[in-house]
A and B are shown apart, each in its own frame.
Chain A
Amino acid sequence: MIMYTMMPEELIFPINQEVYEKQQVIQYNGIPLLVAKTENYEYEVIRVLSTDPNHYLHEPIQPGTKIIHI
Chain B
Amino acid sequence: MSNYKAENTEEQPKEDKPASGLMEKIQQLGQTNVPQLSQDSKIHCLTIVGQIEGHLQLPPQNKTTKYEHLIPQIVAIEQNPKIEGVLVILNTVGGDVEAGLAISEMLASLSKPTVSLVLGGGHSIGVPIAVSCDHSFIAETATMTIHPIRLTGLVIGVPQTFEYLDKMQERVVKFVTKHSKITEDDFKDLMFAKGNLTRDIGTNVIGSDAVTSGLIDSVGGVGDAMSKLNELIEANNNNKENEGIIQ
**Chain A contact residue count (CB 8 A cutoff):** 26
With an 8 A cutoff between CB atoms, is B2 at the interface?
Answer: no
User: Quick one: closest A residue to B40, CB to CB?
Assistant: A54
In the bound complex, what is the Cα–Cα distance between A53 and B89 (angstroms)?
Answer: 12
By a CB distance below 8 angstroms, the chain B residues around A10 are 56, 58-59
With an 8 A cutoff between CB atoms, is A52 at the interface?
Answer: yes
User: Quick one: closest A residue to B76, CB to CB?
Assistant: A51
**Chain B contact residue count (CB 8 A cutoff):** 30
The A6-38 residues at the B interface (CB cut-off 8 A) are 6-8, 10-11, 15, 19-20, 22-23, 25, 32
In the bound complex, what is the Cα–Cα distance between A52 and B37 (angstroms)?
Answer: 12
User: Quick one: closest A residue to B88, CB to CB?
Assistant: A51
Cross-chain contact A53 with B41 (CB below 8 angstroms): yes
Chain B contact residues, CB within 8 Å of chain A = 21, 24-25, 27-29, 34-37, 39, 41, 43-46, 56-60, 66, 69, 73, 76-77, 86, 152-154
Nearest 7 A/B pairs, CB to CB: A64-B28, A64-B24, A51-B44, A63-B28, A23-B60, A15-B59, A53-B45
